[in-house]
């Protein structure tokens, strides 16, 4: 990649999002000019927190752009050398039409953004927010790795529209992005592949999967027992820093797993209990597998999902990310405590 002109604006798509808000905050604090996009500029409650950030008045410009509208990102991308594409739907339950709600916005949105990149001569690098969901679909997939650990070499081959459609959407979108990137030579692309993202939000929105998961752990949903569901955890602030490091490290290449460690829900509850011993109705134990099999469908867990995920530990190798980007990971305890503190402060717990 050619040297970046740091006086040029940086485009961050999906500006009101959980991850993108932190990216914008850090870029503004470092003195950069930032362009960002929102789908509907009339819904200020989705992005008003950005306007209160330091230097936002002088260095932040908010544009309206829709993932499903061709060329709608061109105006916001003008003169930018770096594009950080974070905009994509993230929800894994209450999905009525996975093709329309997940796959089309993820894939077609990526195509539309990168089409605008191809039409914008100033762009030198794209940083794509992907996910560990494009690396694996179910926890059982760990059995098919070489050393019992997921690395950047793996791709999700087990998800579909019918099974884990969110993971399928992330996989399809990242595959399409790499295909487009490799079919030209002017700009390069880096992907950031976070595990489950937690940590404090900059907005008071409660519609994210991260917030809802923390609420379920604390509000008694799993008081009598939580399923032994393991997932990688990473701090939203680390994910934001990874995007910025990827944008400016000239020799950075490829995919980057962002995961500090793997934990099940009960272990997360134990961490919360250390700092808040009597405040929440936290899970007291792991619910036996046979009970999950019987009652899981009532909680939204299909038998197929239970069979392929419950009780199966996953692990992620973040070595390449540390070496290629120089990223240091936040302790999971601090991530969880800071997340709880933010939710309490904003009245969401």
Check: CB of residue 113 under 8 Å from CB of residue 13. yes
pLDDT of residue 1: 63
Of 108, 20, 96, the residue nearest 60 (C-alpha): 20
The CATH number for 86's domain is 3.40.50.720
**pLDDT at position 88:** 72
Count the helix, strand and coil residues of the chain and give each as a percent rounded to the nearest 5. Answer: 40, 15, 40
What's the burial of 270, exposed, middle or buried (CB within 10 Å: 0-12/13-18/19+)? Answer: middle
Residue 184 to residue 172: CA distance in whole angstroms: 19
**What six digits make up the tokens of 65?**
């752009």
Find the angle CA(40)-CA(176)-CA(11) to the nearest 5 degrees: 40
Q: Is residue 235 part of a domain?
A: yes
Residue range(s) defining the domain that contains residue 67: 10-345
In a domain, 303, yes or no: yes
2 domain-assigned = no
- Taking the C-alpha atoms of residue 349 and residue 343, their distance in angstroms, rounded to an integer, is 6
Q: What would the pLDDT profile of 116-147 be if each residue is shown by its tens digit? A: 999 999 999 999 999 999 999 999 999 999 99
Residues of the chain with pLDDT under 50: 91-92
Residue 95 has what pLDDT?
Answer: 67
Write down the pLDDT at residue 300.
Answer: 77
Decide if 3 is inside a domain: no
Q: Which residues are catalytic?
A: 170
The span from the CA of 306 to the CA of 312, in Å, is 10
**Strand stretches in 4-51, DSSP E:** 10-12, 34-38
Q: Which residue has the tokens 């994509």?
A: 88
Cross-sheet strand order for the sheet of 10-12: 60-64, 34-38, 10-12, 82-85, 125-129, 188-194, 254-258
**Contact by Cβ (8 Å): 315, 142:** yes
Report the pLDDT value the prediction gives residue 3, as an integer from 0 to 100. 74
Pairing of strands 60-64, 125-129: unpaired
Residue 134 burial (10 A CB sphere; 0-12, 13-18, 19+)? buried
Euclidean distance between CA atoms 225 and 213, whole angstroms: 15
Say how far apart CA 8 and CA 33 lie, in whole Å.
7
Number of compact structural domains in the chain = 1
**Looking at the domain assignment, is residue 4 inside a domain?**
no
């Amino acid at each position: 990649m050619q040297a970046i002109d740091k006086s040029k604006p940086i485009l961050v798509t999906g500006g009101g999002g959980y991850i993108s808000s932190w990216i914008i905050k850090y870029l503004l604090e470092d003195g950069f000019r930032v362009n960002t996009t929102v789908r509907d500029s009339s819904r200020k409650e989705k992005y008003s927190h950005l306007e209160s950030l330091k230097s936002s008045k002088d260095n932040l410009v908010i544009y309206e752009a829709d993932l499903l509208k061709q060329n709608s990102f061109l105006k916001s991308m003008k003169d930018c050398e770096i594009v950080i594409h974070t905009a994509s739907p993230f929800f894994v339950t209450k999905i009525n039409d996975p093709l329309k709600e997940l796959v089309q916005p993820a894939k077609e949105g990526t195509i539309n953004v990168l089409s605008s990149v191809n039409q914008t001569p100033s762009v030198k690098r794209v940083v794509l927010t992907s996910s560990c969901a494009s690396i694996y679909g179910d926890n059982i997939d760990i059995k098919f790795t070489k050393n019992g650990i997921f690395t950047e070499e793996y791709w999700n081959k087990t998800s579909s529209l019918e099974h884990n459609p969110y993971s399928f959407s992330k996989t399809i979108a990242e595959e399409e992005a790499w295909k487009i990137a490799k079919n030209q030579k002017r700009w390069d692309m880096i992907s950031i592949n976070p595990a489950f993202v937690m940590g404090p939000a900059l907005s008071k929105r409660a519609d994210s999967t991260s917030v809802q998961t923390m609420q379920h752990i604390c509000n008694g949903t799993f008081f009598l027992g939580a399923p032994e569901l393991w997932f990688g955890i990473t701090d939203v602030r680390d994910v934001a820093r990874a995007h910025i490091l990827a944008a400016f490290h000239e020799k950075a290449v490829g995919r980057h797993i962002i995961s500090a460690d793997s934990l099940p829900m009960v272990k997360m509850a134990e961490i919360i209990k250390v700092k808040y011993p009597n405040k929440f109705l936290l899970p007291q134990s792991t619910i036996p597998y046979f009970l999950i099999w019987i009652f899981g469908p009532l909680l939204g867990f299909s038998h197929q999902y239970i069979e392929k995920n419950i009780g199966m530990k996953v692990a992620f190798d973040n070595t390449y990310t540390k070496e290629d980007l120089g990223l240091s990971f936040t302790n999971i305890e601090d991530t969880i405590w800071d997340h709880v503190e933010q939710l309490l402060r904003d009245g969401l717990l």
